[in-house]
Structures are given as C-alpha cells and as structure tokens.
Amino acid sequence: MSGHDLGSVAIIGAGQTGTALGLALARSDAVSEVALFDRDAATARRSMALGAGHGTAARIEDVLTADAVILAVPVSAIVALIDSHGGSLRPGTLLLDTGSTKSVVVEAMRRSVDPSVHAIGGHPIAGTERPGPDGADPATLRGATFALCPVRDDARALHLARLVVEAVGALPLVIDAREHDRAIARTIGLPHLLAFALEAAVRPASEKHSALAGPGLRGATRLARSDPAMVAALCAANASETRAAVDELRARLDALVASLDDEAALAAALADAAG
C-alpha cells in the first residue's frame, strides 16, 4: 500500500464504531486526513480529542467532499442519510457504511447513489459493550472480520473498501447482503436479545440472592450492558431474520424443557445441542 492511497476520509457518526475506525485510520499511512461529523458536536469533539480525527465539521455537507465517506451511525440513520445526501457525493468517492444490517443499506445505495460513486455496504464485526467515543478500542478491529457487501458490479468500490479494511487491520469478507443478514440475526441479534431477556428474567432473584449469582450468569448477561438503542436498531432493521432466529431458539428451548423429567434424555439432548 503506497502513501495516502485513500486520500481524505470523512466519518459521519463519532460514536464507538466511528471513533474506533477514526483512531485506526488516523494512524494509517493510507489516509491523508480524517474529518469527523456527528449531529452531537460534543461527541465529535470528544472523538477528536481521543485522536480519532484531524478536525470536526459543523455541517454534514462540509464532509461530503472527502475522497472516502464512512457512515458510522445506526442502520435507520444510514438509510436516511443515503437517501437525503447520496446524490451529493462526487463521482469517484468511496461510500462505505458500518451498519449491522446490509440488505436495506445496499438497496438504499442502489436507489439513491449514482453509479459513478463507489458505494459498498460494510460491517466490522468488532466492538465493545461501552457506547460512545470512550467505548472505542481500535484493537478490536485488528484481525476482526469486516464484511463487504457489493452494491453493483464495481471492482473499484471493492478495491477501495479493501484498502479501508486493511488500513484498520481487519480482514475483508465479501458476502451477499441477504446472506450476511441471515447470519448476523443468529450470531449477533439473537445473543443480544437473549441476554436482555435473561437479565430481566433473573433480576429479582439475583438482586435478592446476589451471593448466588455466579460467573456463568455474569457471562450470559454481559451483552445486556450494550446500548439498548444500538441493539434495537440492529434487530429492527433485520426484523424478519431476527424473528426467525428467535423462533428457532424457542423450538430448541421447548425441546429441552420437554426432557426435564428424564435426566438421561435431557443429558442426551444437551449433548446434542452442544455438538
């Protein structure tokens, strides 16, 4: 990779994901400059203070002229931004997002972004439970999968997106948007919903008998410390696949419950479930 191959980069959304990407990109030789925009100016300033960018913008229009524009906001906001500002991007610009659901984003890019713009859906499979800039850790990107979902037959878009992925130390995985969404509903959406539901179900007992709450419970409910708004956006944007994943889990749980009165049968069912 030669110096500044990506040119200037604008990150829209200076929360945990945007800040982690900014921290990694600002240290990369592939980028000449990183500009930050967030609708909450204080969040953008905090992200920049951590080292995630070289400057902040007061208006979103001020960052749309960058060579690469990365949308690091919830999926619903990504779609809204693409529809409202996708037509303002210069030909040759890389447009990449970080949303956890890809079908609706890719559809919006096809609908609202000119083919002269190199648009591609993206999703870094990395992060922490702590929301906001202070929860950002660029180390989580190193060696992490970064899904790339093509919008069109655009080799340049894929090349530029790969440069971003390589610059942050992640590993690119080119995958169809629908296939991505089906998998993510089960590997990310379902575990989060389960953690929140489990936390709500056990809270009365764990509060009354805290000494009996072991590390297993803490591990199983760890994801319930995630930002509820982030989890809601993730699951709502992928509602049909998330609902199917919950139905599959419910069927598995029902099968285990049906064996509760037969220890041998339950052990066999648990062993089968564990693979």
Mean per-residue pLDDT pooled into runs of 10, the chain (275 residues): 78 96 95 96 96 95 96 94 97 97 97 98 88 91 97 97 97 98 96 95 83 87 88 91 96 95 95 91
Which residues, in sequence order, are bridge partners of residue 71?
12, 97
Is the Cβ–Cβ distance between 52 and 22 less than 8 Å?
A: yes
- Whole-number pLDDT of residue 275: 84
Within its chain, how far is the Cα of 30 from the centroid?
Answer: 22
Report which DSSP code applies to 137: -
Domains of the chain: 7-175 (3.40.50.720), 180-274 (1.10.3660.10)
Q: How far apart are CA 62 and CA 88, in angstroms?
A: 11
User: Pick from 15, 19, 13: which is nearest to 51 by CA?
Assistant: 19
- Residue 229 tokens read as 């708004």
Cβ distance 47 to 19 under 8 Å? yes
**Interatomic CA distance for residues 269 and 240, integer angstroms:** 28
Residue 213: its pLDDT value, please?
81
The structure tokens listed for 39 are: 């609708």
User: How many CA atoms, within 13 angstroms, populate the side-chain half-sphere of residue 184?
Assistant: 28
How much is the pLDDT for 210? 81
Query: Whole-model pTM?
Result: 0.88
Query: Over the range 34-57, which residues count as b (16 or more CB within 10 Å of their CB) and which as e?
Result: bbbbbeeeebbbbbbebebbbebb
Phi, psi torsion values for 14, nearest 5 degrees = -105, 35
